[in-house]
Amino acid sequence: MDFEQLPRSALIRLLQEHEAASRDTGKDGIVMSYTGRTAPWQIIRQVKPKLSKIVKKHSVGDESHQAQNEIWDGENLSTMVTLYKHRGQVDLIVTDPPYNTGEDFRYNDKWDKDPNDPDLGDLVPKDDGSRHSKWLKFMTPRIWMMREMLKPGGVIAICIDHRELFRLGMLMDEIFKEENRIGIINWQKSYAPKSDSKHISTATEYVLIYAKETERSKTRLEERTAAMDAIYGNPDDDPEGLWDSKKTGGNPTAASGDAKAAYGIQSPFTGEMHYPGANYWRSAKASMKGWLEEWGSIYEEKIIGDNVCLIDKKGKQINVKALVIKGCKFIDGKAVDSEALLRKSRDAAQKVYERGQWPKLFFTKKGDGAPRLKTYLKDVKKGKVPLSWWSNEDYDSPFEIGSASWAYTESGHSQSGIKELAAVVGLDHGFQTVKPLRLIKKIIQLWCKPDGVVLDPFAGSGTTGHAALELNAESDANRRFILIEQGNTEKGDHYASTLTAERIKRVITGHWASGPANPIHSGFRFIELKREKIDAEAVTALAREEMIDLLLTSYWDKNEKAKSYLRRLPAGSHRHLFAVNPKDEGFFLIWDAPDQKSALNREAFKRIVEEAKAAKLASRYHVYASMAPYTGTGIEFYKIPDSVLEHIGFNQRSDAYNNENSEETTDA
């Protein structure tokens, strides 16, 4: 093999395969072994990208909104391979695969020889002795491909129940590596025991969270809620805003500190001395003195005979000076013969109390109590660190989010998901297991940045898309989603169009089955994965509108890959112009039919320039044609079919996934 001739991406792929092969041979930890196991990269290498078609009647929103989100109808492994433009660009994958219950998992035995077969196969019954190995054979290449879709700092959150939890965990450890496991979430799906339970009623399910590269991933804080902020108030009209003194931050003492920080402070209200007990004052002495003086009296450091002392390096006892009202006299740590001074101090402090805008260090019980520190809401972290236990027994409580766990009110439960779906599409949706919206929203909020991309390869009823849309609307974010659904009803209807897209459409338009809801300004393209594999012959056989569909779904700019998308223009509105990118640059197609000439000549270029000027576009022209005998200023030429094939990943030298002969491609 001539390694020097290989492009960087092919070299990276070889190194990854070598590393994976090492794991498979047992050189790097535990490797799962089961009947019919094949290395996932070997399976994926056989999977070919397929042609696709944008179905306008199922797409929603104006063209600018349609361009940002996608719902795919097709087998998910083939679809992920076809989604070449998104490979390595996804921020979060959140998905709910079949749990292998004997009622929800299908397997096609033909996949053992040809993973391109589009049929989903038959349901695998509970009494099938090979059901676990079939499930692993089904999941392994898909998990591998999901990893490939993620950015280096991307995260996957995959839902599962007890039936395949251990096998999935081992599989995730193998593919993502154990050190990239962020956590295993245990969430409560139900709150009442089932009457048919023999031993323990199963009330929880799990979400396995892995990063592609832990050191490059980020877990955000849970968003603060009204319940969390309700403890903050402003009874003294403090210009710094809302504050609280009851939580840990309001305690002026700390468990550790310098022995010099164990001094006494004198109350400006009562003249009594206050000490940190077995602890230490957490704030600097100068700060404490300043806050005390804001109550209207001058303070000084003074030895008052209270036996607060420390031992120096030579073993000598040194008394620690207290902070007291200047001029006050003390015997054995107690104020004496200072009634007039203390009365004056109390009067001054009382005026400050009645005025409001108290110092940061204040005294409870209207001055007669212990000192406390104000903790300002503006200085508090805007959220809380999530825990792995999301549960709460009190299902009758109002919707609140506590600070110690992800309660059912945060993560929802299974009946919530079913009711939420019914509210949008109606009661006859037929789904018995639907993840609650709160669960998916929380996952997205934690692991997908506000302008990130979310992928769900097992989209089901579309909860992931619904959650992303609601989060966008609630926080002015711009997350994009890609949903893939491959299931069919017993009648043969595709869930992608009858349920997934229908739910997202109703969420966007606000036309819920339960009544009008607030619309969300968004949209999506509905894309149907066809059975035909993509190659040069297939591309050059496309009609004009079919070619445009392919260009819209496959185009990406290597300089702005994550933000590369084209806004389609109305069909028939121009001779060549068919789309515009976010930079207002025009995309032109010289292609009327497979049997007609497709050449960028001088006459065609003149028409292109005129169309661009009429549409007020930038003077950079992206032109697709079979040949280009003319080259002009500002032309970016894409040769059909070569450039089209490159954009969908069909490149023998740069991508080992999609080639016919795997032995040739790994040695080329």
Q: Indicate whether 48 pLDDT > 70.
A: yes
| Percent over 70 (pLDDT), the chain | 82
Q: What is the pLDDT of residues 380-424, one digit of tens each?
A: 766 555 555 555 432 222 222 222 334 445 454 556 777 888 888
| Count of residues making up the chain | 668
Q: What is the pLDDT of residues 270-289, one digit of tens each?
A: 999 999 988 899 999 999 99
Three-state SS sequence of 221-288? CECCCHHHHCCCECCCCCCCCCEECCCHHHCCEECCCCHHHHCCEECCCCCCEECCCCCEECCCHHHH
Please, what are the domains in the chain? 46-223+385-531 (3.40.50.150), 227-377 (no CATH), 541-647 (no CATH)
Residue 170: name the closest of 143, 188, 200, 146 by CA.
Answer: 143
Question: Rounded CA gap, 46 and 61, in Å?
Answer: 36
Radius of gyration of the chain (CA): 33
Count how many Cα atoms sit within 13 Å of the Cα of residue 541 in the half-sphere of its side chain.
8
Average pLDDT over residues 116-140: 87
Average pLDDT over residues 569-597: 93
Kindly indicate the confidence band of residue 379, based on its pLDDT and cuts at 50, 70 and 90: confident
Q: Indicate whether 451 pLDDT > 80.
A: yes
Q: Indicate whether 659 pLDDT > 50.
A: no
How high does pLDDT run on average in the chain? Answer: 84
Tokens at 469, concatenated: 């849309």
Residue 205: name the closest of 270, 161, 258 by CA.
Answer: 161
Report the predicted TM-score, pTM, of the whole model to 2 decimal places.
0.71
| Percent over 90 (pLDDT), the chain | 55
pLDDT at 653: 47
Kindly indicate the confidence band of residue 655, based on its pLDDT and cuts at 50, 70 and 90: very low
Q: What is the pLDDT of residues 186-244, one digit of tens each?
A: 887 765 556 556 677 677 789 999 999 999 988 876 666 666 677 889 999 999 999 98
Q: What is the pLDDT of residues 154-194, one digit of tens each?
A: 999 999 988 889 999 999 999 999 999 999 988 877 655 56
pLDDT at 263: 95
307 and 358 Cβ atoms separated by less than 8 Å: no
Tell me how many helices (H) and strands (E) the chain has.
20, 33
pLDDT at 664: 37
Question: Rounded CA gap, 342 and 339, in Å?
Answer: 5
Average pLDDT over residues 465-491: 90
101-110, 423-432, 444-453: range with lowest mean pLDDT: 423-432
CB atoms near residue 294 (< 10 Å): 17
**Strand extents, DSSP E, 265-351:** 265-266, 273-274, 280-281, 299-302, 309-311, 317-319, 322-325, 329-331, 334-336
Three-state SS for 511?
A: strand
Kindly indicate the confidence band of residue 431, based on its pLDDT and cuts at 50, 70 and 90: low
Q: Indicate whether 601 pLDDT > 90.
A: yes
Mark 258-278 as b/e (b = at least 16 C-beta within 10 Å).
Answer: eeebbbbbbbbbbbebbbbee
Q: Indicate whether 542 pLDDT > 80.
A: yes
308 and 262 Cβ atoms separated by less than 8 Å: yes
φ/ψ of 278, rounded to 5, equals -80, 0
278 and 376 Cβ atoms separated by less than 8 Å: no
pLDDT at 139: 93
3-state helix, strand, coil in the chain (%, to 5): 35, 20, 45
Three-state SS for 424?
A: helix
pLDDT at 3: 62
CA–CA distance from 346 to each of 236, 286, 317, 369, 372 (Å)?
A: 18, 22, 34, 13, 18
506, containing H or E segment: helix 501-509
pLDDT at 459: 95
45 and 115 Cβ atoms separated by less than 8 Å: no
Question: Rounded CA gap, 363 and 341, in Å?
Answer: 19
Upstream peptide bond of 641 is cis (omega within 30 degrees of 0)? yes
**Cα 166–chain centre separation:** 24
529, containing H or E segment: strand 525-533
Kindly indicate the confidence band of residue 69, based on its pLDDT and cuts at 50, 70 and 90: very high
Average pLDDT over residues 442-459: 94
